[in-house]
Structure 1
Amino acid sequence: MNEPKTPNLGLNKIDRSSPSTTYFDLDKYLDQNWEKVDEGVATKEELEELRKAVGEINVPDASLTQKGKVQLSNEVGGTSETVAITEKALNDVRQGAISKNRPSNLLPNSSGELGFMGWWNFDPYAPFRIGNGAPEGPSSFVFNGSTSTTKSTLMVSDPLPTKLEAGKTYTLSVDMLNSAGVSSEINVNLHTQNIDNSGGSLVATIKCDATTEWHRKSLTFTAKSGVTYNVSISLGYGLPAATRQVRRLMFTAGKDGEAWNQDANDKFLLMNIQKSNIWRPIV
C-alpha cells in the first residue's frame, strides 16, 4: 500500500491514488504528524542553553591582520583602520568630489604646460620662460634675473574664452614663489578686455607674500555685464636678480581659492589641434 510522506519531516499525507484510500484518519494525519513535529522542535530549556552558548562565543575585533566584527562609520575624514565605511559615507565623498574638487577652470594653459599658447610676452628683452615643473608640481611661468629699470615686465593672457555671468561670484587663484622673499614683487592681475603693454582697466591684483616658499593666493569678485576679462602676470621695474614663478592659475565660479584642475588645458589643446594652430611664437 502506498504511504505518501512529506520529503523533509516524513509527515503522513493522504493517499489520493484511489477513492477508497482518500479518507481522513485523525490519528494518522493529525496526532502522529504533530508528534513528529514536536520531536523536532527544541524545548525551552534547550533554546536557553543555545542562547547562552552563542552569547559566550568570543568574536574578536577585526583588524588589518585578523578577521572579526567591525563597527560601521559615516566619518569621511577619519584615520581609523578598525571601522568600515558606509554607503552613505562613500556617497558623501563622491558628492564632495563632484561639487568642490572638480570645478571648471576657465583659464586655459594656466601653468604653461602648453608653452605660451593663450599668453603674450610683452617684454622681449626680459621675457618669461616655461619651467618644466621639477622637482615638484606642474610646470610654471618663470622669470629669472633682474627686471628693467624703466618699466614693468608683463605677460598677458588672451581674453577668457567663456563669457562670465553678470552678478555671479568668481575666484582667481594662483601659486606664487619668489626666491627673493620680498612681498608684492609678483603680481597676478585681473583686467577687462583689450589691455596692452601700456595698461588697461585693472579690476584687482594678487600680490606675492614675503616668503621663499610656494604659497597660494586668491581674489574674489563679482562679474559685470557686457565685460570680458583676462589675466596678466607682472613684475615691477628695477627688481634685483631672483627667480620668480607663477603656476596653477585657476579662474572658476564660486569662492573656492584652493580648487585646481587642468580641464581647460585639454579643451584648449584640442581646439588648437583642430585649428592646426599648435604653437604661437613669443612676441
Structure 2
Amino acid sequence: MTTTRQFDGGKLRHLLTLDGLPRATLERLLVRAQELTADAYGGTAQRAALAGKAVCTLFFEPSTRTRSSFSLAAQRLGADLLNFDASTASTTKGEADLDTLKTLEAMGVHAFVVRHKRDGAVAELADAAQPGTVLLNAGDGRSNHPTQGLLDMLTLRQAKGDDFSKLKVVIVGDVKHSRVARSDLHALRALGCGEIRVCGPASLLPDDGTLDGCIVGDDFDAMIEGVDAAMMLRLQRERMAEGLVASLEDYHRDYGLDAARLRRASPDAIVMHPGPMNRGIEITSEVADGAQSRVLRQVANGVAVRMAVLEALLG
C-alpha cells in the first residue's frame, strides 16, 4: 500500500500504514510523543487541544491495550469520546461497515480509530470518508498496526537514543501473521536501523517480500547474539491447529526467550513484546518481568504516541 492517500496538501490526513511514511514524519511524531509523555499519565495541560472534536473507537475485533490507550489519549486531549462495540451494534444485524461509518459521521464524529480483521478495510473506509474526517488504523488483518510500530520505536529511542544506524534488532516468532511485525519493519527501515534480524520457523515467516533487506534465520541462539533489542511476538495458538507449529514445548525450546538465551544478547539489550504475552511459550516470566524488559514501558508509551497522532490529524 502506498501512503499517498494519507496526505492532503502535504499534511497528514489519515494514519493507515507506516509503509513508505517519510522518515521526517515518523521522527516528528516520535519527538512530539516524547514531549507528551508526562501529559499521557494525567493532568489537564492538554485538555483544550481537541476540545469540541469527537473521536470514535470503531472496533470490529476485541482489544485491551490499543483501545484503552486510544480512549485515554483522546480524553487527555479533551476530545469527546464514543466507544463503538461491534458485538452489540447494528453490524450484528447486517449493517455494512461503510454505513456504520456514514451514520456516525452524520452525528458529527471527526475521527475514527478502526480495528478490523480484514486487510485493507481501514483504507477502504478512509477512501469513502468525508473531507475533514480522519481515519486511524488500530490494526487491520495481518497488514498494519502503525501506532504499535510508533510506540515500539519510541521505546527503542528512549532506551538507545535516536541514532538507529548502530542498532542490531531481532524480531522473533510468528512474523507471517503479525501486523505488528510488519509495522515495526517499516519503521525500522525508515529510521535507518543498522541491522534487522528476523528469526522463526519457516512455517511462520512470510515469503512475500516483507523480509527484504533483513537477515533471516531459524537459529535463535545465533540470531540473538549481540543484539541491542529483542522484539518477541505472540504465538497465535490457532496456528497450532493449522499444523504450523509442532508443539508448544518445541516452540518454547527453539524460540522462547529465557534468561540463559538473553545473556547471548548485548549486556544492555532490551526486551519488547506487544502483548498479550503467552508466558512460558514465547517468553518466560523471569525475562518478561526482569530488569531488561520494556513491556510495560511500551504500554505506557502507547498513550503518548496516540496523543501525538490524534493531535497531528485533528489539531
Instruction: Please state which band the TM-score falls in when normalised by the shorter chain.
Output: under 0.3
Q: Which has the higher helix share?
A: 2
Q: Which has the higher strand share?
A: 1
Calculate the TM-score normalised by the size of structure 1.
Answer: 0.21
